Amino acid sequence: MIEKRTVGILGVGHVGAHVAYSLGMMGVADEILLCDLEEKKLKSECNDLNDSVPFMPNRSLFRAASYEDLKDCDIIVNSVGDITLCRNFDRDSELRNSVVQVARIIPRVMAAGFHGIFVNITNPCDLITCEIAKLSGLPRSQVLGTGTLLDSARLRHSLSDYTGLDSRSFSAYMMGQHGNSQFVPWSLINISGVSLDQYEKGAGIKLDREAIQQQAIQGGWVTLSGKWCTEYGIASAAATLVRTILHDEKRILPCSVKLEGEYGQDDLYIGVPAIIGKSGVEKVLDFPLTEEEQKQFDTCAATVRANVEKGKAYLEQVKAEGKL
């Protein structure tokens, strides 16, 4: 029997709608269920997306759905949120709104019987991925966030700008928080099989590593400052994660996953390389870091843990006020 691949999307604002479109254009899913509180916008998005189907590589069906309708999805992409809240160029500014929204939505989805995989986009990404894991009760492998996946693409973009090489020449990751404390583990970068140090020596150049790192970290804010949203990059990252899972690609991608001792941290969702396949997070890769890189990672971990405590305190406050 031929199985239908179904993906649900929670929240169809700038990002959610672009994720839906990317999934269709990649030919990843057969059915894409869209869920949003704004019914009129939801209807419009579905209509527009279905108008584009004749131009897609494969037939996909886009339709509006309730939270309960998502119970049989293979994957649910969480993209609820309010991008206007981070116009101060700090993703953590979305914290209060995001934790309340997922606290209201995820229990309804789970009560309907969902047992698939969650891919989270909503910021602060590491915190919200953690909250979804707690609220869903799903195993480690079935909850992950885009984390530093898009940031890693920005790093390759930056390396390409500084070297003139195609961005696909680099194996390079950003690690840590999906936020301003993330960092480049330079020791893990290679260019077509050689280390960055070897490449610099062979090419007779010395790259400005601090400038490259800052360009990668600030890439999202460059996008945001001109149009007050980010769309194509994050939608492509999320759709790639979905495709990697549905096609069981066994691909190494940096994303927000739960650590259980890796990198000296435990019970923490943060951006690190992991093998992604049909089961979701199939293995978290504990690559060796230099002493300085480990210090940077620990700083990121402390930042994420502080956010987790902020989220917990705010949810307790909301509950005490009877608003949840």
Residues with catalytic annotation?
178
**Secondary structure class of 175 (helix, strand, coil):** strand
Query: Any bridge partners for residue 171, and if so which?
Result: 190
Q: Cα 251 from chain centroid?
A: 15
Q: How many CB atoms lie within 10 A of CB 319?
A: 12
122's tokens: 């909503």
* Contacts with 248 (C-beta within 8 Å, 6 or more apart), sequence order: 277, 278
195's tokens: 């280390």
* Identity of the residue numbered 318: V
- What are the strands, taking DSSP E only, across the chain? 6-10, 31-35, 61-64, 75-78, 117-120, 143-145, 170-171, 190-191, 194-195, 251-260, 266-277, 280-284
Q: How many residues does the chain have?
A: 324
The pair phi, psi for residue 93, each rounded to 5°, is -65, -15
Torsional sign, CA 281, 270, 33, 223:
negative
